[in-house]
Structure 1
Amino acid sequence: MQSIPVDISRLGVLRCAVAPEVKISNFETQEVKKDRDGNTVYTVAVMVRQEGRRVSVIEIAVPGEPKGVVEGAEVKVTGLEAFAWAMGERHGISFRAAAITPVHPPAAAVKGGGS
């Protein structure tokens, strides 16, 4: 399967549509998918809005848990690649990235207080 690099700069605003979920490789056994290095693979649904009101949602596989990525948050996707696939009469495009991180990290808890 040949990978096709994706130019992220042309995708516009990226937002997390569905928070990271562990990717399951076998639904019967509930086996969790791992990459070549043994990292758990997560899937993040990302909304892509280029121009105007048109929005697309793509699911992106990423190694390791994307920390701080929550639904609705603007995200940065690093190293996005697309893969064309076919299984029998079914076919499609899947996406994989090196990392997905929040554009604005969650605010740190306010310290102190007290009387």
Structure 2
Amino acid sequence: MQSIPVDTARLGVLRCAIAPEAKISNSETQEVKKDRDGNTVYTVAVTVRQDRRRISVIEIAVSGEPNGIQEGQVVKVTGLVAFAWAMGDRHGVSFRADAVTPVSGAPAAGPAKAAGGA
């Protein structure tokens, strides 16, 4: 499987859609996926907004639990790579990163305020 580096600077605003969750490698036994070094692999769902209207959600695997990430928070993704995969008639792209970290000073998205009021 070939890894393709992704330039995150060109992806626009990256925001956490679903907080980090341990990745399950076997749904029957609920076994948690581990990397080669024995660290738990986590999945973080991140929204990618490349233009004013189009938003995509990608799931990014990362070794070790990302700390301080909340849903709606702007995040920084370091070392993002994409992997094209195929299994029988199924195919897709998966993503892995060295780290997903919160952007300091960037508030999490909250409910919209009513116009003209505090």
Same fold (TM over 0.5): yes
Segments of 4+ moved more than 4 angstroms: none
The alignment-based identity, stated in percent, is 78
Counterpart Cα distance in 2 of 1:53 and 1:104: 25
Counterpart Cα distance in 2 of 1:57 and 1:89: 23
* Mapping 1:25-44, distance limit 5 Å: 25-44=25-44
Number of residue pairs matched by the alignment: 106
* Structure 2 equivalent of residue 59 of structure 1: 59
Counterpart Cα distance in 1 of 2:3 and 2:54: 26
Deviations 1:16-58 (A, max 9, x none): 0000000000011111000011110000000000111110000
Unaligned runs of 5+ in 2: 107-118
Displacement after TM superposition at 1:91 (Å): 0.3
Unaligned runs of 5+ in 1: 107-115
**Could you state the TM-score of these two structures normalised by the residue count of structure 1?**
0.90
Query: Secondary structure of 1:47's partner?
Result: strand
**Could you state the TM-score of these two structures normalised by the residue count of structure 2?**
0.87
Query: Secondary structure of 1:73's partner?
Result: coil
* Mapping 1:89-108, distance limit 5 Å: 89-104=89-104
* Mapping 1:74-89, distance limit 5 Å: 74-89=74-89
Displacement after TM superposition at 1:10 (Å): 0.3
> Does the 8 A contact of 1:42 with 1:61 survive in 2?
yes
> Does the 8 A contact of 1:19 with 1:44 survive in 2?
yes
The answer to whether 1:21 aligns with 2:12 is no
> Does the 8 A contact of 1:68 with 1:105 survive in 2?
no
